Chains A and B, each alone.
Chain A
Amino acid sequence: MNRSHRHAAGSGCLGTMEVKSKFGAEFRRFSLERSKPGKFEEFYGLLQHVHKIPNVDVLVGYADIHGDLLPINNDDNYHKAVSTANPLLRIFIQKKEEADYSAFGTDTLIKKKNVLSNVLRPDNHRKKPHIVISMPQDFRPVSSIIDVDILPETHRRVRLYKYGTEKPLGFYIRDGSSVRVTPHGLEKVPGIFISRLVPGGLAQSTGLLAVNDEVLEVNGIEVSGKSLDQVTDMMIANSRNLIITVRPANQRNNVVRNSRTSGSSGQSTDNSLLGYPQQIERSFEPEDEDSEEDDIIIEDNGVPQQIPKAVANTESLESLTQIELSLESGQNGFIPSNEVSIASIASSTNTEFETHAPDQKLLEEDGTIITL
């Protein structure tokens, strides 16, 4: 043990990292090259090998810096796990067939009450029956926080994916007044606020929007100077892929950028610089090109079909959209219940990654994807 501790302590400079893996009652220890951790598949094989369970399907989880049990099921969260492990990476392995999915998530390892999450989500206390979680590709994003790195920390850009769900968007907006800082001092200006969330609606179930949040933008268009009716019409027109930028009434849960916990912050900065135009493009263009194109045509009383697009050059964008969606679902796709969402934001987890799409486009997704 001593030896391994010493080893672990020195790992930071030596570039290796100690891994402590637990399967059932058995522990295994080994070390990894921090700089080139390899792929998830290799790591998965390695775990099966060290635990001598070559043909057993398992779920892999790790304890993150806050003591939360988070899943490792793809390259991205594997890399995240490796990059944030300090000093050692604690791995928990469960057999798939007897996996306890509720184990994952916030507060799962550290049993102290998280005050914030309780405030935000009072139903946290009521334990819901656990849902069986499938693989990432089976997931469909419902909402996300996006563009974290380009927005002020006090703002939050939330994307609600209406398509495919039967859930109503389920919120109301109202007029109100807000205080702005101007060169001439503070000024009271009219603003648009979320006035009500419908229980069971999409907006409420994401937990990303709350009553009295001020609406600043709708799909990238500022609402200042627009009437309540105009903003209503804009939101409804965008309802199939609504991106709302709000200033949350509760500012305590803001994403804190460049925090010490964000191990990949440096990388993130680089990314955002590199991929800036594409990133912006991506944030707003897909809304133009994806879900709303699916007008339906019925020919000669036949079967309804989606109307195809006539112009060739939009195809790349469409495929781009596809990729984006699968990425989103991949990212953190293992988070099983809605309890996770807020806490992971609250705990300043700012996950960033990059990947190259099969075709030429550089794609990027920022922020945490919340999946229900």
Chain B
Amino acid sequence: MPEVSGGGCRPSRMRRFLRPGHDPVRERLKRDLFQFNKTVEHGFPHQPSALGYSPSLRILAIGTRSGAIKLYGAPGVEFMGLHRENNTVTQIHLLPGQCQLVTLLDDNSLHLWSLKIKGGASELQEDESFTLRGPPGAAPSATQITVVLPHSSCELLYLGTESGNVFVVQLPAFRVLEDRTISSDAVLQRLPEEARHRRVFEMVEALQEHPRDPNQILIGYSRGLVVIWDLQGSRVLYHFLSSQQLENICWQRDGLLLVSCHSDGSYCQWLVSSDAQQPEPLRSLVPYGPFPCKAITKILWLTSRQGLPFIIFQGGMPRASYGDRHCISVVHDSQQTAFDFTSRVIDFTVLTEADPTAAFDDPYVLVVLAEEELVVIDLQTAGWPPVQLPYLASLHCSAITCSHHVSNIPLKLWERIIAAGSRQNSHFSTMEWPIDGGTSLTPAPPQRDLLLTGHEDGTVRFWDASGVCLRLLYKLSTVHVFLTDTDPNENLNTQGEDEWPPLRKVGSFDPYSDDPRLGIQKIFLCKYSGYLAVAGTAGQVLVLELNDEAAEQTVEQVEADLLQDQEGYRWKGHERLTARSGPVHFEPGFQPFVLVQCQPPAVVTSLALHSEWRLVAFGTSHGFGLFDHQQQRQVFVKCTLHPSDQLALEGPLSRVKSLKKSLRQSFRRMRRSRVSSRKRLPAGTPGEVQEGSAKAERPGLQNMELAPVQRKIEARSAEDSFTGFVRTLYFADTYLRDSSRHCPSLWAGTNGGTIYAFSLRVPPAERRMDEPVRAEQAKEIQLMHRAPVVGILVLDGHSVPLPEPLEVAHDLSKSPDMQGSHQLLVVSEEQFKVFTLPKVSAKLKLKLTALEGSRVRRVSVAHFGSRRAEDGEHHLAVLTNLGDIQVVSLPHLKPQVRYSCIRREDVSGIASCVFTKYGQGFYLISPSEFERFSLSTKWLVEPRCLVDSAETKNRCPGNRAGPKKAPSRARISGTQSDGEEKLPGLGMERALLSDERVLKEIQSTLEGDRGSCGNWCSPRAAVECSLSNGGAE
């Protein structure tokens, strides 16, 4: 609510705003129903910059350029921390055997983090931070840290610096042990004469502890000198001199062999033995020579039981021909593969035998952190297949263009989608997810939720959004329906046997779209029937059906001429896509059978599917149409274009609009930065420097005054551009014409505040194929404020939103009340209005923009349950252009709560937001990450997990199933609010719920035979399940 401040005219406003909120009962109920939490981030961290792994904890850590660190273990085990400084995390080191990690930022500061157990669950927190400082007057490079070595004692950190000195600090307080500093001078003095003559030092590139002897460390300097330093005797045990710049070094497990890699793309093996005083490398090799190669920046030499070692190195590609590739090569025995990544490799690690006393490394998994994705490769299975990720999925493999959420998927559909997806995943390794540290305490999700993302390349990805891990289930591609420039048979992977280097593309990140027209703009899935409608950038609307078998079928093509008889318009935008004629082979999964192409081929702006009536409605900036996909016949089209609206005709709306928007954005950004830079100046300290900077600023300020940002104040008119743009489509079975007879109807809302209502006549099922579907315009409502209509909803006689199609048929919802009078809710960007039906008269309204200047961006009905009340309430979840999320009550349109969620400048975040039917939501915080939030006290999906350093260190994948420890709070069932005593019997219920098998049984029982549950499980569990399952009353 707007601030209320003093002044003569306040009392009325006060009263207005206080009026609805002063009921203490309602206030308590509100607290019971609503609470706002950002719970978890799904997807791949934006701009990763560092990788760490703890073999003992089996936890992976990723640092980002914005100063975030994220820890991942077993699916569901996730932690996130954010450095106070927004600096790039350059290194992460998990302290061996500890629940602690040290991060190095690019401001040269070190931070100690730890996982502490609080209230039964682990939390990540920062304990200490530290910046290494040299003596006064020393160059900053003297203390610029290049390498960090956590000593196995866990008490010391060795810090290699640009100056060549190695400093020692004691943990956890970061106390500098000055007497233990290994200065380059000291090393020089202890070198034999013949090794001193060259300038061998410069910065420290590598620091390694002897694998067996904690008293020896290896120091590698960038000029090529490597020494093994005796920590106790402060002497050089061995030294090695390479002729090339040193990049990195690796110590074989037994400590007898060193492998160094160099900037010329070579690596050298060195024997660690005392006999030779000036040892030559045992072997020196340029793996991708003989032509000049790029540097090998990191190398690992890993022994295996089978005998021959694994040599894994980053880079080293021939400079001229493959210098632009991001490669990691694995060499073992006679096999060699250069894994080729589509984005820059940040770092990699190899999972090996964790027990330090074991004789061999036995590497089994290669983990590569690339700029845009994480790739995990199974090194135990022949062919080194990739491992499917249970989390950290790259959502932006192709840019996300839209998303659609479907709650509470029936088990049958779920299994069919998984089955279709598993066929697509056959190239993945069967290995269980190897990074499995920690224990997730989150109970198994009470229902199955799907998040569908549409992508620029014409694909739709189906994600399991039920729990903490967003997992890819199935990928649908619409590309095969169309003829595109690129030949789909062209495969980059098909290369001859003798190809050198042996490149192999891995990963899924592929931001390049063949044809932007393929982009998916709208998705609508009916979870009961398995029908899916997908619409795209070039006016294409596809209706698909789930088929468990592969099929060869022809896609019916229909053109919908939305301009109808309007004359004299010329479409200047893209052409429509050309569909393949003849039968097309489709893999098992969703297979298209109808293609409607809008003419002009403008981007589809709204889509609705009614699976019971077998109808699909679609809208663009020119009009909307209704298609009968049962008879494959167009029912009608309606042009919504205003005759004077030339802009809408000329081309893709997105371009015009986005340019305008981006210009506005950039102007605003400029202004903001100016304002903030002015603010940063310390006030009242006159001096020459200050004056200088003030002078420098003045021209900027003057420019600002010359060209102020102006906004025109004008009422909307019918002549405005894009008023015909169809924003929302809605099917309802309601009283459209008279109060005695209800009938199917289609509602459409436009950008110009017009609502069209068509009454439909759908033949009964037995004559469905014989008689045509008829439509007749019954009503047209023009909102006088002319704001874009973003939502239309019909409330039944009990003021409950009408159920989804087939929801009642599947017994998952009460039948709507058809006795009382129905009401029509229209949500425009500016206000909410309730009208009576069938006679349209205004009943209620809530103004949003007029009062607070925010506009509705997203609106969705959500069901809010509380722990106290059995059945909960339906309300509207609303996202505004300011990034606020509000709940508006139904049917009285009273604002309930309001939370600020997204920064108002984050236009793409706001545009990407999608609500679930149970008061949760997702929005993009970066191109590759969804933030998940919850407005509900009852539905809360967030990680809650335990990581214990005392846990068994050996690999034993079997022991992580089943609940190990009783969680103190069950988030899903809503014992969230503080001060609430725990309900008796919760432990039992949770044990039942968290056992996936039992849960499946419960649900299949519910779905199969809803009457007979509860005789074998505890009554409380039955109640819980029925709530979660049929919550939509």
What is A's interface to B at a CB cutoff of 8 Å?
147, 150-151, 162, 168-176, 195-196, 203, 217-222, 224-240, 277, 280-281, 283-285, 288, 291-301, 304, 307-311
Contacts and interface: CB of A to CB of B under 8 A. Distances in A.
B504 to A, nearest CB: 50
Given A236-B713, A300-B778, A292 B843 contact: no
Name, among B11, B712, B780, B782, the residue most crowded by chain A CB atoms within 10 Å (CB to CB).
B712
A104 B902 CA distance: 59
A292 B785 contact: yes
A296 B779 CA distance: 10
A123 B710 CA distance: 27
A218 B273 CA distance: 85
Contacts of A284: 9, 12-13
A298 B779 contact: yes
Contact of B9 (A203, A220, A232): A220
B784 A296 contact: yes
Contacts of A281: 12
Contacts of B13: 220-221, 284
A170 B8 CA distance: 29
B849 A308 contact: no
A196 B710 contact: yes
A222 B842 CA distance: 28
Interface stretch (B145-153, B320-328, B690-698, B851-859): B851-859
A234 B841 contact: no
Nearest to B855: A233
A283 B9 contact: yes
A173 B711 contact: yes
A301 to B, nearest CB: 6
Interface in B494-545: none
Nearest to A168: B714
B418 interface: no
Contacts of B782: 295-298, 304
B384 interface: no
Nearest to B716: A236
Given A239-B713, A307-B835, A230 B842 contact: no
Contact of B12 (A224, A236, A280, A309): A280
Contacts of A151: 8-9
Given A168-B715, A234-B852, 6 more contacts: A174-B709, A220-B9, A220-B13, A239-B714, A239-B715, A295-B833
A233 B849 contact: yes
A168 B720 CA distance: 13
Contacts of A171: 712-713
Contact of A309 (B11, B841, B904): B841
Name, among B11, B12, B831, B833, the residue most crowded by chain A CB atoms within 10 Å (CB to CB).
B12
Interface in B816-855: 830-831, 833, 835-836, 840-844, 847, 849-855
Given A234-B850, A308-B842, A229 B711 contact: yes
A232 B850 CA distance: 10
Given A175-B671, A280-B12, A237 B849 contact: yes
Given A295-B784, A310-B841, A230 B710 contact: no
Contacts of B8: 150-151
8 nearest interchain CB pairs? A230-B853, A239-B715, A237-B849, A232-B711, A150-B8, A310-B841, A237-B850, A234-B853
B11 A280 contact: yes
A237 B711 contact: no
Contacts of A283: 9, 12
Contact of A230 (B785, B843, B854): B854
B785 A240 contact: yes
A51 B211 CA distance: 124
Contacts of B849: 233-234, 236-237
A91 B236 CA distance: 118
A222 B779 contact: no
Interface in B760-790: 777-785, 787
B3 interface: yes
Name, among A170, A221, A285, the residue most crowded by chain B CB atoms within 10 Å (CB to CB).
A221
Contacts of A170: 714
B2 interface: yes
A352 B477 CA distance: 72
Nearest to A176: B708
B959 interface: no
A307 B840 contact: yes
A294 B715 CA distance: 15
Name, among A233, A283, A309, the residue most crowded by chain B CB atoms within 10 Å (CB to CB).
A233
Contacts of A162: 715
A225 B853 contact: no
10 contacts: A172-B710, A172-B713, A173-B713, A224-B3, A229-B853, A234-B849, A283-B12, A292-B784, A293-B842, A295-B782
